């Protein structure tokens, strides 16, 4: 089963798959970072928005929020969740904004969904072009050299008479610009279990490589991957939050 088929076929279960994610804490943390480093504007776009939970929180914060994703079934759910928001089906490697943006977010490591380093560079260029003066791009990322292929996160949730078991973990082969997000989903209903396994190809890079990609476009601050507090990245952990303020010229 391809990654797109998995997300299309199971888009109705996507929120269950992410049930252990604290969307409110993530959104609030990034709002605080935007207040500290941004231009105080309220035009916001969420890249790879999925079913729109982060967009919902930014709308509730008072932002004029929008989202984009490549998967239409996900966007259909997002539109139901956020009827006042605008959603568009676009590839984040080459997206266009209808008006200058003050904040662009990309949560859940989704910046890695760019197909390769060239596409990531295109995405960063698109973000720079879309941001207003003093605008901020904020996302989280993982350093390919710090990936533990043995680590796999799991959780279970009951829904509509079925028990779902979800698992996910990074995999990096040790060289090149390709890593993977490996997923497993089990759905048990009346003693019968269905199982899906999938592997999402994603771009792999070190934080040094990422900084080099960002430097022509942004002034970059790097923070610990902790949505409960704002702390500078310690230089050792393999996950971090990147807060990128638009440079005026490149």
The pLDDT of residue 5: 47
Distance CA 126, CA 120 (A): 10
Whether the per-residue pLDDT at 198 is higher than 90: the answer is no
Whether the per-residue pLDDT at 8 is higher than 50: the answer is no
1 pLDDT tier (thresholds 50, 70, 90): very low
* Average pLDDT estimate for 110-127: 97
* 18 and 90 share one domain: yes
DSSP letter at 110? G
The pLDDT of residue 121: 97
* 176 and 74 share one domain: no
* 156 and 33 share one domain: no
The pLDDT of residue 90: 97
Whether the per-residue pLDDT at 50 is higher than 50: the answer is yes
The pLDDT of residue 248: 83
The pLDDT of residue 4: 46
Q: What is the tally of structural domains in the chain?
A: 2
* 66 and 113 share one domain: yes
The pLDDT of residue 9: 55
Question: Of all residues in the chain, what percent carry a pLDDT higher than 70?
Answer: 95
Whether the per-residue pLDDT at 12 is higher than 80: the answer is no
Sheet with 64-69, strands from edge to edge, namely: 86-89, 64-69, 43-47, 101-106, 131-142, 239-246, 218-224
* Residue 193, domain CATH: 2.20.130
171 pLDDT tier (thresholds 50, 70, 90): very high
* Residue 77, domain CATH: 3.40.50.150
The pLDDT of residue 250: 52
* 170 and 53 share one domain: no
Who has greater pLDDT, 98 or 220? Answer: 220
Half-sphere exposure of 124 (CA within 13 A, CB side): 26
**Residue numbers of the domain that contains 48:** 3-144+204-246
């Amino acid at each position: 089963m391809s990654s797109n088929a998995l997300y299309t076929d199971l888009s109705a279960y996507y929120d269950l798959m992410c049930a252990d994610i604290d969307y409110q804490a993530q959104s609030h943390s990034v709002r605080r970072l935007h207040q500290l480093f941004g231009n105080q504007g309220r035009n916001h776009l969420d890249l790879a928005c999925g079913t729109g939970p982060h967009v919902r929180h930014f709308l509730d914060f008072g932002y004029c929020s929008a989202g984009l994703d490549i998967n239409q079934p996900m966007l259909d759910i997002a539109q139901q969740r956020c009827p006042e928001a605008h959603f568009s089906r676009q590839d984040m490697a080459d997206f266009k904004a209808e008006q200058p943006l003050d904040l662009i977010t990309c949560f859940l490591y989704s910046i890695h969904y760019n197909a390769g380093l060239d596409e990531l560079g295109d995405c960063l260029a698109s973000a720079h072009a879309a941001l207003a003066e003093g605008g901020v791009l904020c996302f989280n990322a993982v350093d390919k050299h710090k990936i533990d292929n043995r680590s796999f996160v799991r959780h279970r949730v009951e829904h509509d008479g079925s028990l779902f078991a979800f698992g996910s973990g990074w995999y990096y082969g040790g060289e090149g610009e390709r890593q993977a997000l490996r997923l497993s989903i089990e759905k048990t209903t009346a003693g019968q279990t269905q199982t899906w396994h999938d592997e999402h190809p994603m771009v792999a890079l070190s934080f040094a490589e990422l900084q080099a990609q960002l430097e022509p476009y942004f002034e970059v601050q790097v923070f610990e991957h902790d949505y409960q507090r704002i702390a500078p990245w310690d230089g050792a952990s393999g996950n971090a939050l990147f807060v990128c303020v638009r440079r005026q010229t490149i």
